[in-house]
Amino acid sequence: MHLADLWRTYGGVSGVQLLSGHILSEDQDLLLEQKKAYSDIVYNFRFLSQRELASHFILYHLSVVFFSETFAIHYTAFTSEGAKYCPWMKKELLARGVQFVQRRINSLDELGDEGFPIVVNCAGLDGGRLAGDKEVYPIRGILLKVEAPWQKHFLMRDFVTFTIPT
């Protein structure tokens, strides 16, 4: 609801946008896991028919290798681009009198003990350690940002490669 309100009120200035797109995989179970994980919190979640697959990914010659046993899901969701959202949010919070404190800490518990009412964890790759959450671990990938204004939808293939318009 929060992202929807930001999108309606501020549009792209806040870095929030509403996008639809597809995830393709030869592993139908992988897509069924996605359905279980978030089909109730995104919009328009559904599996594409074989006819839709052929129409979308062969007719338009998207550089997607199409196998007869390829499955795909479609959904619409909000995204936020950190390079826009974080500076926008900081500006909004400063305008409301929020004070920012930047310092080195060993644990988020330190801040709770000092009575900070809200903590925004911007620790990046070290965020899990600071929060004491062993389930969060650092990963790195390669991200290329390209100018492609014609790209209006996201497309992922087995969560290995993806495009997300910003």
- When the pLDDT of each residue in the chain is averaged and rounded to a whole number, the result is 84
Question: What proportion of the chain, given as a percentage, has pLDDT over 70?
Answer: 87
pLDDT at residue 5 is higher than 60? yes
Cα 97 off chain centre by? 29
Do 118 and 153 lie in one domain? The reply is no
Do 59 and 83 lie in one domain? The reply is yes
Contact of 153 with 145, CB cutoff 8 Å? no
The total number of structural domains that make up the chain: 2
Do 15 and 62 lie in one domain? The reply is yes
Do 9 and 51 lie in one domain? The reply is yes
Dump strand ranges (E) for 10-158.
Answer: 16-25, 43-47, 71-80, 154-157
Q: Per-residue confidence at 30, pLDDT binned at 50, 70, 90?
A: very high
Do 15 and 89 lie in one domain? The reply is yes
Q: Locate tokens 């599996």: which residue? A: 47
Do 131 and 158 lie in one domain? The reply is no
Do 11 and 54 lie in one domain? The reply is yes
Do 43 and 77 lie in one domain? The reply is yes
Rounded CA-CA distance 30/147 in Å is 31
pLDDT tens column, 129-156: 888 888 887 776 667 777 777 778 888 8
Do 14 and 77 lie in one domain? The reply is yes
Do 17 and 59 lie in one domain? The reply is yes
Do 54 and 85 lie in one domain? The reply is yes
More confident residue, 95 or 140: 95
pLDDT at residue 26 is higher than 90? no
Contact of 58 with 51, CB cutoff 8 Å? no
pLDDT of 118 reads 83
CA torsion, ordered 78, 79, 82, 84, to nearest 10 deg: -70
pLDDT tens column, 102-122: 888 888 888 888 888 888 777
Rounded CA-CA distance 127/138 in Å is 8
**Burial of 53 by CB count in 10 Å (0-12 exposed, 13-18 middle, 19+ buried)?**
buried
- For residue 74, give its domain range: 2-97+140-163
Do 10 and 89 lie in one domain? The reply is yes
CA torsion, ordered 33, 79, 155, 135, to nearest 10 deg: -40
Q: Per-residue confidence at 82, pLDDT binned at 50, 70, 90?
A: confident
